[in-house]
């Protein structure tokens, strides 16, 4: 009985957190760059829950952004989408690329990602765009 109650409470907490995250989804500020016409959406505040270490490099002469995302949140996630924004020297976004972290990222672990980018940029901004919380199991 106690185990069943703990599972119900855990699932309820997860549901509240998911609603809170969904409610935090907002449109980013409009870009001042003339070349950026697409709108960008994301969840604010995910940096604390999913710290990222990354680096820009090359593989077989092609630019690539690689790194690790760490799950500091107390709930496992999967289908993690990474957003790579190519920045010009002034910090303006010139292009946006989407990549995936394959597999589950359980709490306290880190997972590798790599995103090929068609053209090398002076710098990049890397963030978690979205994810799916793992379902409660009873």
Q: Report how far residue 25's alpha carbon sits from residue 44's, in angstroms, rounded to the nearest whole number.
A: 7
Residue-number span of the structural domain to which 60 is assigned:
2-25+43-133
Q: How many CB atoms within 10 Å of residue 126?
A: 21
Q: Is the pTM of this model over 0.85?
A: no
Read off the pLDDT of residues 52-101 as tens digits, 9 standing for 90 and up. 999 999 999 999 999 999 999 989 999 999 999 999 999 999 999 999 99
Residue 52 placed within a domain: yes
Does residue 34 lie in a domain region?
Answer: no
Asked, for residue 35, whether it belongs to a domain, the answer is: no
**CATH code: domain of residue 8:** 2.60.40
Pair 43, 69: CB distance under 8 Å: no
- Count the domains in the chain: 1
Evaluate whether residue 33 is within a structural domain.
no
Measure the CA–CA gap between 60 and 73, rounded to whole angstroms. 35
H or E, element range at 94? strand 93-101
| Residue count of the chain | 138
The answer to the question of residue 36 being in a domain is no
pLDDT above 50 for 103: yes
Evaluate whether residue 91 is within a structural domain: yes
The pLDDT score that the predictor gives to residue 136 is 67
């Amino acid at each position: 009985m106690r185990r069943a109650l703990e599972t119900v409470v855990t699932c309820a907490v997860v549901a509240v957190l998911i609603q809170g995250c969904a409610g935090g989804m907002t449109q980013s500020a409009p870009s001042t760059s003339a070349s950026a016409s697409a709108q960008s959406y994301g969840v604010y505040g995910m940096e604390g829950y999913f710290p990222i270490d990354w680096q820009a490099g090359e593989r077989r002469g092609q630019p690539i952004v690689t790194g690790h995302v760490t799950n500091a949140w107390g709930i496992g996630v999967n289908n993690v989408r990474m957003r790579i924004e190519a920045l010009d020297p002034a910090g303006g976004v010139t292009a946006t690329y989407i990549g995936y972290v394959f597999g589950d990222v359980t709490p306290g672990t880190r997972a590798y990602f790599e995103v090929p980018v068609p053209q090398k940029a002076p710098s990049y901004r890397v963030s978690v765009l979205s994810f799916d919380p793992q379902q409660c199991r009873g």
